[in-house]
Amino acid sequence: MLTSTIKKLTLATSLGLMASSAMAGYDFNVGDDGKLSFGGYLKVDARYVNGDVAYRDFWIGTGTPLEESASQFRIFANESRFNTKYVHGDVMGFIEMDFLGGGGNQVVSNSAHPRLRHAFIKYKDLTVGQTWTTFMNTSAIPETADFAGATVGLAFVRQGQIRYDMGGFQVSIENPESDGGDTANDDLPDVVARYNFKGDWGNVSISALGRRLNTLGGNSETAFGGSIAGRINTFGKDDLRFQFHQGEVGRYVGLGVTKDLIGEEVETSTSYLAAYRHYWTDTLRSTFLYGRIETDKSDADRSQWSVNLFQNLTPALAVGIEVGNFALDDQKVDSNYAQFSMRYAL
């Protein structure tokens, strides 16, 4: 049987979910070795963008240059998400969804489609399903109001994979994609190997990526890239988060900056991200960050910086304000932004 503590936690979380859906109900039926958990968060953002790059709810590696500077303000809650985890002995199943799947409009309903983020099964050291690529060190993602923050320098891919962990070493085969090429002939998986160094000081990961890409001209090209990323504890509760990616990493880095293939050639990029989080008090903190990516075939050059201030009103409720700039440096246009966020962890 579940302990009373787990029962109370499950009931409290269920009531929180029910509050957003009238007449909803939930049934639980787990065995002696089973556990059912709910999680996620509700996040509301108020965002103002001004400049020569068109408004987006969050910056990605690309953008739309404007002939004239424009300003736009929006309030939205699409980043909100919920997840469920099932555990029975050595088996764990996890599924998570958010509301960034599109749909709706700002005229009437502002509705948004649910979107699958994660869906995977873990059995001992084996993970099978859709989740973050093994190439990505999630602990190196900075705390920001803008979703993910400085994606130009960030490894950011979720996809189907089969991963095996052996202590600090991880190896996986992952869903292939020749972005910009012939995807109909992607018949070999991407391969990722990663080693994690961990301690009281933080963690650092070194990752290597190997792929076969198929061009529209009927050729096959090999692509290799590497990454080093981590989170280092500094003074008190402060930390430094960093990422550096170099090589033929294509779609794995930059969220849309470059394709894997430019014509018949493999794109090469260099990208980096540095973010320092400082705690002013036990609950008040700021993150200062800068990210950049440059590519060799498409000559893309993109950058982003930001600074923010977050305060926990309760252990589960945080509010924050962030200001920053996103630039298409290769096109000599940029936009400034300011964003207020409130996030309630379920």
d(CA 275, CA 199): 20
Q: Which residues contact 277 (CB under 8 A, 6 or more apart)?
A: 142, 143, 238, 239, 240, 241, 285, 286, 287
Residue type for position 59 = W
d(CA 322, CA 46): 11
Is the pLDDT reported for residue 150 higher than 50? yes
Average pLDDT over residues 71-79: 96
Output the pLDDT for position 29: 59
Output the pLDDT for position 28: 58
Nearest to 155 by CA among 118, 208, 78: 208
pLDDT, tens digit (0-9, with 9 covering 90-100), for 224-272: 999 999 999 999 999 999 999 999 999 999 998 989 999 999 999 999 9
Residue percentage of the chain with pLDDT more than 70: 92
CA gyration radius for the chain? 21
For the domain with range 33-345, which CATH number is right: 2.40.160.10, 1.10.3720.10, 3.40.50.720, 1.10.287.130? 2.40.160.10
Is the pLDDT reported for residue 1 higher than 70? no
Give me 167's structure tokens. 């202590």
3-state secondary structure of 255: coil
Nearest to 342 by CA among 39, 45, 40, 47: 45
d(CA 105, CA 87): 38
DSSP state of 236: T
Average pLDDT, the chain: 90
Give me 164's structure tokens. 């095996």
Q: How far is CA 310 from CA 78, 161, 286, 322, in A?
A: 20, 35, 6, 9
Average pLDDT over residues 139-156: 93
d(CA 1, CA 33): 8
Domain ranges of the chain: 1-32, 33-345
Give me 118's structure tokens. 């994660």
Where is pLDDT greater, at 109 or 91?
91
Phi/psi of residue 51, each to 5°?
A: 155, -160
DSSP state of 90: T
Residue type for position 297 = K
Q: Which residues lie across from 317 on neighbouring strands?
A: 344
